């Protein structure tokens, strides 16, 4: 099935990035959020990011204007259902996602493919709550979406081949690369990445090193572009904790036990960059380690 229109649920960090790349690739985009302010902020951010691409001569001004013209916003979930492909990009919380799908399913066209940008939750389980498990799959973008080349495609137990092939064609049109992952907790990227971040939290928790030394060690010793604690702040500590809990619950292995210090930061509301405090304090001109 050729996909021409894409509906995106959630206008946050991931949703606005997905809208950006979809519109730039020529898809008609319907971006939904319950918050009018979030939608306004998303459109402004997409415009700034497209302007940056124009200034760096990655795209033309005509490309930017055409992409912006393809994006419409709505607070009505029903509007999203009238597209060929829906990508749910809400918070990493299974109950929230199920609530969205329950409201969305009656509004979908018969041929609509339903997907989730979840970074860890079972695709088979999410699909089973809908009327179309054969046309449901995981469509996991990396953050920041306009820059990162990888998309994880995750088939649930019922996902049919046509659905997979249609989503693969979208990834290729976006000039990104697909990695096919089996439907196990956290898939490929986060199955490896988030336990590394959790281990960095334990290294801090046990006093082996401070925030600065841990991040410096991985940047210079393993040639990582960002240290693990800096990366955790970028991802969001609540998201990191949610994924660790999915791994711990889903695989029943103590090696995935979330670090108590990570839990403490989340309980304090220190979630990283989005709240201005996490393993670093971002309220000044330069980020300062909080430990």
Q: Fill in the DSSP letter of residue 104.
A: H
Q: Which residue in 49, 190, 198, 230 is the catalytic one?
A: 190
33 in a labelled binding site: yes
Centroid of chain to Cα 65: 25
137 in a labelled binding site: no
Structure tokens given for 93? 């919380």
92 in a labelled binding site: yes
Closest by alpha carbon to 33, among 3, 51, 13, 47?
Answer: 13
15 in a labelled binding site: yes
183 in a labelled binding site: no
Q: Long-range contacts of range 44-52, CB-CB < 8 Å, 24 or more positions apart?
A: 45/16, 46/16, 46/19, 46/20, 46/71, 49/20, 49/146, 50/20, 50/24
Provide the sign of the torsion angle of the four alpha carbons 49, 53, 59, 65, taken in this order.
Answer: positive
Give the CA dihedral 156, 159, 163, 165, nearest 10 degrees. Answer: 70
For residues 152 and 181, the answer to whether their CB atoms sit within 8 Å is: yes
Q: Which residue in 152, 166, 198, 230 is the catalytic one?
A: 152
Separation between Cα atoms, residue 79 and residue 58, nearest integer Å: 32
Q: Which residue in 5, 16, 49, 140 is the catalytic one?
A: 140
Q: Which residue in 119, 120, 122, 166 is the catalytic one?
A: 119
12 in a labelled binding site: yes
For residues 172 and 43, the answer to whether their CB atoms sit within 8 Å is: no
Sheet order of strands, 85-88 included: 71-74, 28-32, 5-9, 85-88, 113-116, 136-141, 150-155, 177-181
11 in a labelled binding site: yes
Judge whether 119 counts as a catalytic residue: yes
Judge whether 128 counts as a catalytic residue: no
13 in a labelled binding site: yes
Tokens 């809908």 identify what position? 130
Separation between Cα atoms, residue 175 and residue 149, nearest integer Å: 8
1 in a labelled binding site: no
- Active site (catalytic) residues: 119, 140, 152, 190
Q: Which parts are annotated binding residues for NAD(+)?
A: 10-15, 33, 92, 97, 119, 143, 274
Q: Which parts are annotated binding residues?
A: 10-15, 33, 92, 97, 119, 143, 274
């Amino acid at each position: 099935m050729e996909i021409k229109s894409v509906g995106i649920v959630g206008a946050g960090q991931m949703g606005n990035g997905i809208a950006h790349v979809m519109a730039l690739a020529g898809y008609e985009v319907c971006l939904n959020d319950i918050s009018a302010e979030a939608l306004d902020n998303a459109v402004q951010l997409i415009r700034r990011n497209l302007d940056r691409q124009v200034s760096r001569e990655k795209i033309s001004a005509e490309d930017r204007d055409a992409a912006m013209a393809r994006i419409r916003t709505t607070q009505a979930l029903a509007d999203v259902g009238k597209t060929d492909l829906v990508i749910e990009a809400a918070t990493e919380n299974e109950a929230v996602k199920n609530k969205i799908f329950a409201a969305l399913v009656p509004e979908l066209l018969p041929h609509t493919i339903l997907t989730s940008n979840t970074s860890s939750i079972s695709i088979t389980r999410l699909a089973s709550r809908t009327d179309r498990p054969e046309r449901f799959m995981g469509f996991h973008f990396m953050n920041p979406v306009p820059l990162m080349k990888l998309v994880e495609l995750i088939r649930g137990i019922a996902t049919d081949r046509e659905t997979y092939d249609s989503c693969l064609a979208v990834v290729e049109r976006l000039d990104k690369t697909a990695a096919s992952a089996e439907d196990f907790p956290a898939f490929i990227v986060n199955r490896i990445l988030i336990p590394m971040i959790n281990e960095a939290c334990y290294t801090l928790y046990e006093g082996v090193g401070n925030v600065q030394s841990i991040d410096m060690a991985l940047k210079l010793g393993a040639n990582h572009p960002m240290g693990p604690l800096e990366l955790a702040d970028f991802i969001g500590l609540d998201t990191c904790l949610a994924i660790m809990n999915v791994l711990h619950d889903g695989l029943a292995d103590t090696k995935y036990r979330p670090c108590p210090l990570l839990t403490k930061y989340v309980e304090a509301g220190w979630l990283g960059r989005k709240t201005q405090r996490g393993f670093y304090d971002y309220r000044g001109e330069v980020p300062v380690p909080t430990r």
